Structure 1
Amino acid sequence: VCLTRNTHIQYEELHAKVEIRPLELAYQQQLLVHVAFRNADDTPAPVAVDRNNDGQQEGGGEYDQLEKALKGKTETDNIDGDDLTPMVETLKGILRKCRGNPWNIRAVGALLGANRVDKWKEIEENQVDDLVIGDKKRDPLIPAEYAQLPADIRLGFLYCLAFPERSEIPENSLIPARKLVRLWTAEGFPPNDSPLQSQEQEAENLLQRLIDYKLLVVKKTGLDGEVLKCKVNEHMRSLALEMCEAQKICRFARDPAHPAPRTRPSSSLFSRKTALLHRYRVLAVHGDGDGNEAVQEMSSAMSKDIRLRSLLYFRTERKEPPKLELSFGRTYKLLRTLDLQGTRLTRLHSSITCLVCLRYLGLRGTQLEYLPETLQSLRRLMCLDIRDTGITEVNDVSEFKEMRHLYLANSFRDQSVLIKEGLLSLLHLQTLSGATHEVPSERKKAGMVPFEQELLYL
């Protein structure tokens, strides 16, 4: 595969496990020479290896192949080749960093072949570490170990990549642990296999396992030790992005002013130059500025994406974002989580009724002043967040039979949101923030306790 540059490989199994064994030194040199040293017509430079009956290399020094190839390369680049020792040492250092992994050698070799010999030392010092995968000095887990992790660990970790790596808004540069658990639960993983624990409890256990595996790093804890904020381990991000693209887990739509970070060249194992029309599970929109253009592009491109489960928006700049108008069609019917926190959304389109599977709706910090009556058709909704909006009342919540978390305002002491009907029918409610309730007249006559005291009792 490495030598032929074949990028269209068909496996009999969709998720075939690939085990990469380190190459012998002679084969490492052969592969590097084949990729990095090209003739004028872009054909690979010839490599001749003499071996004895035992398969061992005969004649010359240990790095004789590199010296022979360098002589021809220096002539092509018009560089003094009298002393090849420094150049050979540079290539030896590169091979050591590649650790015998043919994919690493293939990726680095392509970069070397595109540059002159006098630039190779700089590449070895500044770029090779970012290209290679599975470096034990930098990664807590090498790819082989990562592939052996349980499926829920891998899927939960890749979902975390939807959160922005950095942001001018401090609270958006870290992952809120509680919100992550709510999103996982709405997505439906980990599967609720235990009769003794709820799905949300299993999601909390999953978070702790990711921390134990050092895939997530704790950044803030509460007084009782509860994890409040965390972040993806930077040493694992590069590998995780590769896995995201390979498994079509998460797609990023960014503000044109904030393009995607530089990725590996096209020689990488997984090419990330993929159109939005591919079917991804999660779409994360990062950035403001002309971010509305990215959102509109996403809206049109995903009109045929029936696999999309999560649509998440994150502000990355302090300046006011553009006005957002978003409608939904039947192709979004499998969407489970919709988080539009911080957008300039002034109206929630009535077509939201198409989202029959929606479980998480995040509208915090938007410019909404009311919720449409059609919202009651979302009977599977488990979490609704309308904090920091202009909404002052909600007519009826009796249809939200599966509601667990209802965030209306930051607290009961802030400007509370009036719930007119149906609050007492939410039997599975675990979190209620910033609500007032209209007590029926018959309850007032009967001298029943105020609603806030009922909540305290519950």
Structure 2
Amino acid sequence: MVEVGEKMLKHCNGHPLAIVEEFWQQREQWRNSKMFVTIFNPIYKAMDYIVLALSYYEFSYHLKASFVVLGYFPEDFEILLERLYYLWITKGITERGGKRSLEDIAKVYLNGLVHKGMVQVVSRDVMGNIKMCELHDLMRDKCLQITKDENFLLTIVYARNHELQQQHPSSCILDDRIRHLPVYVGDSVQELESIANSTKLPHLKSLLLFPSGKVSYYHSRGDIPQSLELLRILDFTGFSYVRLSSSIMTLIYLRYISLRSARITELPSEIGNLRSLLI
């Protein structure tokens, strides 16, 4: 190694910075080399994961909780900040401090995650405020691992594309300890009905439905089962049409229902009587 170092110094006229510059100019060739791909790349990824794990466990409670919620969203999903803030607020993660609003506190949490490199900024508004963000794949893997270890979150994916994991209600094991359930919908509304009518989720508090391009209409045909009575978050963001039956009135703990971008074909007039609902 000493001999190699001396040769490098001689080649670069004894200037260490020139060595760095020389390496930087050849970095793509190095990264594409067989040695890097087979040996160093896996090591770097493992080191990144270790650093990420260590940094997560040093977070405050509020930052940990804020970070985990990001795992609800699909891979490479661009998250609208307003939607994320409402989820944090509804879950009680943000705490009012002094004269600052809950949304201001949520912005502080987000900036903390961005500063620590846990969240990537996708776009900003004209004032420079973050408008949309996303999780790096490695960060999302960590999110899902945390929630899996704590029986906190179960993600169900429906799709005909075999590159995606396929799970169907008939074969999917719904652990009754699961508290948060994002459903990535394929091309069948019946899939949604199978989840909505599940009687195995007595502790479920969050149900988020992410439609594909083929599914844009949600119609609640039956009554919402009593097993979902603890539900606090119901998110239909992205659906073109949403029709809900009066059985939604049984969700007395419901605090947040998102119908962003949806044309509501039917909504019970009594929905305003849900005392916990945040308007």
TM-score range, shorter chain: 0.7 to 0.9
In structure 1, the partner of 2:78 is 174
2-structure distance, mates of 1:322, 1:259? 24
Is 1:363 the counterpart of 2:259? The answer is yes
| AA at the equivalent of 2:54 | A
The corresponding residue for 1:6 is none
CA distance in 2, matches of 1:287, 1:133: 34
1:209 alignment partner in structure 2: 112
Equivalent AA in structure 2 for residue 371 of structure 1: L
**Aligned amino acid, residue 278 of structure 1:** D
Contact map agreement 2:231 2:253 (CA 8 A) in 1? yes
Q: How far apart in 2 are the matches of 1:140 and 1:177?
A: 28
Q: Distance in 1 between matches of 2:44 and 2:229?
A: 38
1:147 offset after TM fit, Å?
A: 1.9
Residue number among 210, 219, 222 corresponding to 1:324 in the alignment? 219
Distance between the aligned counterparts of 2:251 and 2:129, measured in 1?
Answer: 33
Pair 1:282-2:180 in alignment: yes
- For residues 68-95 of structure 1, the C-alpha deviation after alignment (integer angstroms, 9 at most, x for no partner) is xxxxxxxxxxxxxxxxxxxxxxxxxxxx
8 Å CA contact 2:202, 2:228 repeated in 1: yes
Aligned mates of 1:133, 1:257 — CA distance in 2:
34
Partner of 1:125: 38
Q: 1:148 aligned to 58, 83, 90, which one? A: 58
Please give the residue correspondences for 1:340-419 in structure 2 after superposition, counting only pairs within 5 Å.
340-343=236-239, 345-382=241-278, 403=279
In the alignment, is the contact (CA less than 8 A) between 1:133 and 1:239 conserved in 2?
no
- Give the drift of 1:341: 2.5
Quote how far apart the aligned CAs of 1:231 are: 0.3
Map of 1:188 onto structure 2: 92
TM-score (norm 1): 0.47
Higher relative contact order (CA 8 A, sep 6+): 2
Unaligned runs of at least 5 residues, structure 2: 1-33, 166-170
RMSD after superposition: 3.1
Measured at CA, do residues 323 and 181 of structure 1 come closer, stay the same or move farther in structure 2, by a change above 3 Å?
A: closer
Q: Distance in 2 between matches of 1:255 and 1:330?
A: 25
Equivalent position of 1:93 in the other structure: none
Aligned length: 238
Name the counterpart of 1:339. Answer: 235
How many angstroms does 1:346 deviate by? Answer: 4.9
Aligned counterparts of 2:241 and 2:153: Cα–Cα separation in 1: 24
Query: In structure 2, what residue type is equivalent to 1:216?
Result: V
> Could you tell me how far apart the structure 1 residues matched to 2:45 and 2:204 are?
30
In 2, Cα distance between the equivalents of 1:250 and 1:312? 11
Given residue 184 of structure 2, which amino acid in structure 1 is its aligned partner? H
**Counterpart in 2 of 1:3?**
none
Aligned counterparts of 2:163 and 2:271: Cα–Cα separation in 1:
35
1:257 and 2:154 matched: no
- Percent identical residues: 24
Question: Is contact 1:324–1:344 with CA below 8 Å preserved after alignment?
Answer: no
Task: Tell me how far apart the structure 1 counterparts of residues 164 and 92 of structure 2 sit (CA, whole Å).
Answer: 30
CA 1:330–1:176: 2 relative to 1, 3 Å: same
What does residue 300 of structure 1 align with?
197
* Structure 1 portions without partners, runs of 5+: 1-120, 167-172, 263-272, 383-402, 404-458
Separation (CA, whole Å) in 1 of partners of 2:66 and 2:206:
13
Contact kept in structure 1, 2:153 and 2:179, CA below 8 Å = yes
TM-score by length of 2: 0.73
- The answer on whether the counterparts of 1:280 and 1:305 sit within 8 Å (CA) in structure 2 is yes
**Letter matched to residue 219 of structure 2:** L
Is the 1:253–1:294 contact (alpha carbons within 8 Å) kept by the matching residues of 2?
no
Q: Which has the higher helix share?
A: 2
Q: Structure 1 residue aligned with 2:131, among 228, 241, 261?
A: 228
| Aligned residue identity for 1:162 | Y
Counterpart of 1:102 in structure 2 is none
